[in-house]
Amino acid sequence: MITTQPIELDVRTIPPREKHPAIFRTFDALERGQAFVLVNDHDPFPLRHQFEATRAGQYSWTYVQSGPVIWRVSIAKS
């Protein structure tokens, strides 16, 4: 059986100035219907508003894990 690994971006390893550009670069590289899992050490809810401001209607946002140490959000391109 062939299993496809999910696309996972752990931004805990990415320096502050490069975090958000890296997240949007990953999202923009997705095909429609694809998703990636964002891993972070805090709730990235402000980012959701940034998605809403710049990519409204193009994404979906699903919490896979909500703290208290690690947050995982599946962000899909619709």
Partner 1 sequence: MTRLALSTAALPGRTPAEVARACAPRGLAGIEIVLDAVPSESTARAWRALDVPVIALRAETGEVGASPELARIAGILEAPVVLAPDRVALARIPALARAYASHGATLLLGHRTRLAEVRRAAALVETVGSVALGLAWEIRPLDDDLSRATQLLIAAEPHMLHVRLHGGGPEQRAHDGRGVGEVFVQLALSRYAGAIALAPSCDASPELWARWAAGSSPSGCGSRGGALVAEGRLELDVRAVEPKDRIDAVLSSYDVVGPGGTLGLIVDHDPDCMSHLLTATQPEGSFRFEYLERGPETWRVDVVRRS
Interacting residues toward partner 1 by CB under 8 A: 4-22, 25-26, 29, 36, 39-43, 45-50, 53, 69-70
Closest distance to partner 1 from the beta carbon of 73 (Å): 14
Minimum CB distance to partner 1, residue 23 (Å): 9
Instruction: Pick between residue 25 and residue 78 the one whose CB is nearest to partner 1.
Output: 25
Q: Is 5 helix (H, G, I), strand (E, B) or coil?
A: coil
3-state secondary structure of 11: helix
- State the alpha helices, DSSP H only, in the chain: 16-29, 45-55
Strand partners, 60: 76
